[in-house]
Amino acid sequence: MSDTVSRRSSATTRLWRLGAAATALAIALLTPAPVQAVEPRQPTLVRTDAGWIRGETTTEGRQFLGIPYAQPPVGDLRWTEPRSTRPWHGVREAREFGNRCVQTASWDPGYEQPSHTEDCLDLNVYVPEGRGSRGARPVMVWLHGGGLTAGAGEDIVPDTFARRTGAVVVTVNYRLGAMGFLATTDLDAESRDGVSGNFGMLDQQAALRWVRANIGRFGGDPGRVTIAGESAGGRSVCNQMASPTSKGLFHAGIVQSGAYGDCAARTQDTAVAQGKAFMAKLDCADMACLRAKPAAEILAAQAGLNWGPVIGGDFLPEQPAALYAKGAAARVPVLNGANQDEGRLFAFARFDAVGTPLTAEQYPGVMRTDFGDRALDRYPLSAYPSPTIAYGTAQGDQRFACSALRLTGLLADRGPVYAYEFADRTSSPFASLRDLGTDFDFGATHVNEVQYLFKHFGLETPLNAGQRTLSRQMIDYWGSFIRDGVPRAAGQPAAPADGGKVLTLRTAGQGGNGLSTTVHSEHQCDLWDHL
């Protein structure tokens, strides 16, 4: 389609370019590596700690794609902690996205085929034009969503965001599913962390260490790094903020729809039991057998099992909520929030998307089974346009809205925490849903805010004038937070650092941005906080 920005390549080509010109090689051999935040003599040629890379210039600035931050986790390195990248000679082309980590096909644009490629520990760097106003630029590191089983750093193209905010933006791939979160007693014995199952989280930390060592060479400030993410990416931020081993790697955090389940991780016993079930599917009794299995078989066997981080080791000694409660969390500013109608996406996927919309007759039984009688009383069908939306409202309130508000309360004494709610119910559904051609009313559902900040899946979002204004305001809020630790937008209400207030984000036609003291009651959190 005409508005598509390639997900597998730069804006100018889809072909992988190999090698380097002799002149570039001469520069690589003769020019010393910069050690401070400077603008390079040749803007698209940068020396990292592993070697020279060449990116390209776009209409928004510069971009460097597919940069390895760790060795490929293949062969004997499968299910080990990430290892430092080996240096290379000459100039490495950085104009194509790297491989996506192992995952199934999905309904997202560009994900029509599964990925079986394990050589995927790459990141992408987007640099706006010109120098930062105070020399080195602030940095945002984006951790993608996808339930820790899907997605890639290329899911957003933040070049316009980088230009408008003046920030250097880094997007990261990390291991997913069984490849990223398998736990077994054999792996426990091998792990320096003390427990296994945190490989994907340790990948994220390796990427942050790469940023600390290298981002100055792209004009970024390693002393002003914000980690950010949506959904599983936001949950990753929540986990990293609680992790003792991540301290010093970032200076602020943005959690978008990521506090679900109170950011909880699996216990070691649960994770090892799931690992045994996984091994049984593959008829394996030891790691040698597992490491010999093709990625396609690993991917098939991981279906139906829960994948995510594990507590009990150095990465997460306890559950994040417990670590927050005892004051162990990183003392950094946090921007944290959720969307008004998070659950509509999940309710649609469960019922309408498979051709079985929830009926009025089914509604009471499903609500009682999933949430209990008290929830059924709080969400009477008569108050909603359809049973699916009624169910989705309860699910969104329970899983996302109230969890986000609880996280805000837990973080309140660790540093300033700014709460927001994306509440634009007029927005077009994000690209994966637009392509379905459904007339289902998604409202301000899960993921929908991402397209207001970035080119989601590399696509331009079809926003009307009011929505474009809201998009600019949101970018201003996020950019101000990345630069200064305080979210502000010209002419708009300041985001509150008061846990009793929430910044609500709406188009002017729907009342505009404002401060609310009723979000907790609107989402029935007095019910969900005690269930």
- Contacts with 46 (C-beta within 8 Å, 6 or more apart), sequence order: 40, 52, 53, 54, 55, 64, 217, 218
- Buried b / exposed e over 209-245, threshold 16 CB at 10 Å, is bbbbebbbbbbbbbebbbbbbbbbbbbbbbbbbbbeb
CA-based radius of gyration for the chain: 23
Confirm whether pTM is higher than 0.85.
yes
Rounded CA-CA distance 387/426 in Å is: 20
Strand, coil or helix: 239: helix
Question: What is the bridge-based pairing of β-strands 252-256 and 334-339?
Answer: parallel
The pLDDT value recorded for residue 40 is: 44
Confidence at 58, pLDDT banded by 50, 70, 90: very high
Residue 44 confidence (pLDDT) above 50: yes
The pLDDT value recorded for residue 130 is: 67
Rounded CA-CA distance 20/321 in Å is: 50
- Span 4-33, average pLDDT: 34
The pLDDT value recorded for residue 125 is: 98
The pLDDT value recorded for residue 5 is: 36
CB 333 within 8 A of CB 417: yes
All domains in the chain, ordered by first residue? 22-324 (3.40.50.1820), 334-358+390-528 (no CATH)
**Element at 91 (helix H, strand E):** strand 91-93
The pLDDT value recorded for residue 39 is: 43
Rounded CA-CA distance 183/309 in Å is: 9
* Cα angle, residue 429 at apex, residues 61 and 12 outer, rounded to 5°: 30
Q: Where are the alpha helices (DSSP H) in 397-448?
A: 402-411, 431-434
The pLDDT value recorded for residue 27 is: 32
In sequence order, what are the beta bridge partners of 456? 156
Q: What is the DSSP letter of 417?
A: E
In sequence order, what are the beta bridge partners of 310? 266
Supply φ then ψ for residue 169, to 5 degrees: -115, 130
Instruction: Write a three-state SS string for 107-134.
Output: CCCCCCCCECCCCCCEEEEEEECCCECC
Rounded CA-CA distance 257/261 in Å is: 11
pLDDT tens digits, 393-441: 999 999 999 999 999 999 988 889 999 999 999 989 999 999 898 999 9
The pLDDT value recorded for residue 218 is: 97
Closest by CA to 10, choosing from 43, 51, 59, 49, is 59
Dihedral angle of Cα 496, 497, 499, 502, to the nearest 10 degrees? 20
Residues forming the active site: 231, 342, 446
Rounded CA-CA distance 205/242 in Å is: 13
Residue 79 confidence (pLDDT) above 90: yes
Confidence at 316, pLDDT banded by 50, 70, 90: very high
Confidence at 327, pLDDT banded by 50, 70, 90: confident
Lowest mean pLDDT among 8-17, 394-403, 462-471: 8-17
- Which sign does the torsion angle of CA 215, 219, 221, 225 carry? negative
CB 148 within 8 A of CB 179: no
- Report how far apart the first and last C-alpha atoms of the chain are (Å, whole number): 47
**Element at 52 (helix H, strand E):** strand 51-54
pLDDT tens digits, 86-134: 999 999 999 999 999 999 999 999 999 999 999 999 999 999 986 554 6
